[in-house]
């Protein structure tokens, strides 16, 4: 029995360690237009490969990234976990050069300030603010969840955002 276990460890362990080292380093996403984008996530840096010779830096300030490409691959939503354990969504639009550039006004700031003004509390009072990407509604609309807490009260709101106007449910 012991010999069997040792042989299993000898033969299986190298495959497990190789697979573990490759997780979350590169991911490929296809849109409905069959445009393939590959992302490199390594050491806090997120890049999108545009073609064989070009890549664009999206972010370099987080410990984790999850990417969501719009149906026509003209937008990328990135769920970002910052070092302070704050989770936000960033949006990037494809420009005429084929690279993706961030929105001028960060989505996280805009949504949290609008929500706090509507609900009557201060953004400084929100503990553990988080944004979670839920889905692309269409090529220019997303659905995200805002969550956190104020005192003993939980915040749990779904927000649709359509690049020009957003609605808080």
pLDDT at 4 over 80: no
In this prediction, what percent of the chain has a pLDDT beyond 70?
Answer: 75
| 58 band by pLDDT with thresholds 50, 70 and 90 | very high
Query: DSSP readout, 21-80?
Result: HHTTTEEEEE-TT--EEEEEEETTEEEEE-SSS-EEEEE-SEEEEEEEE-TTSSEEEEEE
Q: For residue range 9-26, what is the model confidence (pLDDT) as tens digits? A: 333 333 333 333 333 344
CA gap 19, 128 in Å, rounded: 33
Range 118-138 average pLDDT: 88
Q: For residue range 67-101, what is the model confidence (pLDDT) as tens digits? A: 999 999 999 999 998 877 788 899 999 999 899 99
pTM for the complete prediction?
0.73
| 40 band by pLDDT with thresholds 50, 70 and 90 | very high
């Amino acid at each position: 029995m012991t010999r069997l276990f040792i042989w299993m460890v000898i033969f299986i362990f190298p495959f497990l360690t190789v697979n573990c080292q490759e997780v979350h380093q590169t991911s490929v996403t296809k849109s409905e237009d069959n445009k393939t984008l590959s992302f490199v996530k390594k050491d806090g840096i997120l890049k999108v490969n545009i073609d064989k010779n070009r890549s664009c830096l999206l972010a370099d300030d987080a410990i984790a990234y999850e990417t969501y490409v719009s149906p026509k691959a003209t937008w990328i939503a990135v769920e970002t976990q910052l070092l302070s354990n704050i989770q936000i969504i960033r949006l990037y639009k494809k420009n005429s050069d084929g690279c993706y550039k961030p929105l001028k006004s960060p989505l996280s700031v805009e949504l949290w300030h609008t929500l706090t003004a509507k609900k009557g509390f201060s953004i400084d009072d929100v503990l553990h603010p988080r944004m979670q990407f839920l889905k692309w509604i269409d090529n220019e609309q997303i659905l995200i969840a805002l969550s956190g807490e104020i005192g003993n009260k939980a915040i749990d709101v779904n927000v649709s955002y359509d690049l020009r106007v957003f609605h808080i449910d």
